[in-house]
């Protein structure tokens, strides 16, 4: 199976994790696009969605799925999103699609985070994928120095501004053995909007697309 077929497989499998009549938290990315397309086939069974990006909102609405503002919802039963990396504890790196801040906001509303990913995303130690960090522009040079001090090489993602109007730094060379500690540390640096370590908002379950089918990892 191709990587895209594995993404489609887990996008479909996520439907089994949606409570009847729910407002569903929806992430961003190519795996989530498959999930949104699958969601459209059962849209009569859900109330609508809260979206984590303009792209996902447009795709949801094109399918006729009602999109609610995150601000108008007190709680979501479930949030479904992809990952750039996930480890055996359910900790993730996200933000390859530059939607990390809104993703974390919507994930924060949810009781359960259902991660959908193809098997290439499962790693022993987070960090091979460069860590995305959304930052305030005027803090960029200082943050590049801060990352250098912990062994990371931070590079501005060319031509990208987030839905919130900020640049993204991609940080190469980090080995993230303690995701909770590093997420907390980086988030305290002035000028960091959101760091792409999802440890405080880790996956509750991962539906992993493999050649042998969907493997379910509970955390």
Catalytic positions, written as ranges = 103
CB of 83 to ligand 5RP, least distance (A): 6
What is the phi-psi region of residue 162: left when phi exceeds 0, alpha when psi lies from -120 to 50, beta otherwise? beta
Q: Cβ distance 2 to 34 under 8 Å? A: no
CB of 116 to ligand 5RP, least distance (A): 8
Q: Which of 143, 122, 124, 125 is CA-nearest to residue 134?
A: 143
Comparison of 120 and 142: residue with beta carbon closer to ligand 5RP:
120
179 in contact with ligand 5RP (CB under 6 A): no
Contacts of 121 (CB under 8 A, 6+ apart): 82, 83, 84, 85, 86, 208
Site string for ligand 5RP, 97-126 (x = CB under 6 A): xxxx--x-----------------------
Stretch that binds ligand 5RP, among 61-69, 96-104, 187-195, 206-214 (CB under 6 A): 96-104
28 counts as binding ligand 5RP under rule CB under 6 A = yes
Instruction: With CB under 6 A as the rule, give the number of residues binding ligand 5RP.
Output: 17
Q: Are strands 153-156 and 131-135 parallel, antiparallel or unpaired?
A: unpaired
Helices (H), the chain: 3-13, 30-40, 54-62, 100-109, 140-149, 179-187
State whether the Cα torsion 35-120-109-97 is positive or negative.
negative
Binders of ligand 5RP in range 73-92 (CB under 6 A): 81-84
Q: Minimum CB separation from ligand 5RP for residue 132, in Å?
A: 7
- Smallest CA-to-CA distance from 155 within 143, 171, 142 is with 171
Q: Which of 29, 90, 130, 209 binds ligand 5RP (CB under 6 A)?
A: 29
Establish if 12 lies at the interface with ligand 5RP (CB under 6 A).
no
Question: What does the longest C-alpha to C-alpha distance in the chain come to?
Answer: 52
Q: Print the binding letters for residues 30-69 with ligand 5RP: x by CB under 6 A, - otherwise.
A: xx--------------------------------------
Given the rule CB under 6 A, which residues bind ligand 5RP?
A: 27-31, 81-84, 94-100, 103
């Amino acid at each position: 199976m191709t990587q895209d077929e594995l993404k489609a497989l887990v996008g479909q499998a996520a439907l089994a994790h949606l409570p009847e009549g729910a407002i569903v938290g929806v992430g961003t990315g190519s795996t989530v696009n498959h999930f949104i397309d699958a969601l459209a086939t059962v849209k009569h069974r859900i109330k609508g969605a809260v979206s984590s990006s303009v792209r996902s909102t447009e795709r949801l609405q094109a399918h006729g799925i009602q999109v609610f503002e995150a601000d108008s919802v007190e709680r979501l039963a479930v949030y479904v999103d992809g990952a750039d990396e996930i480890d055996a504890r359910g900790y993730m790196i996200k933000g390859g699609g530059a939607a990390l801040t809104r993703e974390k906001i919507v994930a924060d509303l949810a009781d359960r985070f259902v991660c959908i990913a193809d098997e290439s995303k499962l790693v022993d130690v987070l960090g091979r994928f460069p860590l995305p960090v959304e930052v305030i522009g005027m803090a960029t040079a200082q943050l590049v120095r801060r990352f250098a001090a912990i062994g990371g090489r931070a590079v501005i993602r060319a031509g990208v501004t987030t839905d919130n109007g900020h640049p993204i730094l991609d940080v190469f060379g980090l080995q993230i053995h303690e995701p909770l500690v590093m997420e907390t540390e980086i988030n305290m640096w002035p000028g960091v909007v959101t760091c792409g370590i999802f440890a405080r908002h880790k996956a509750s379950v991962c539906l992993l697309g493999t050649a042998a089918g969907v493997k379910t990892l509970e955390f």
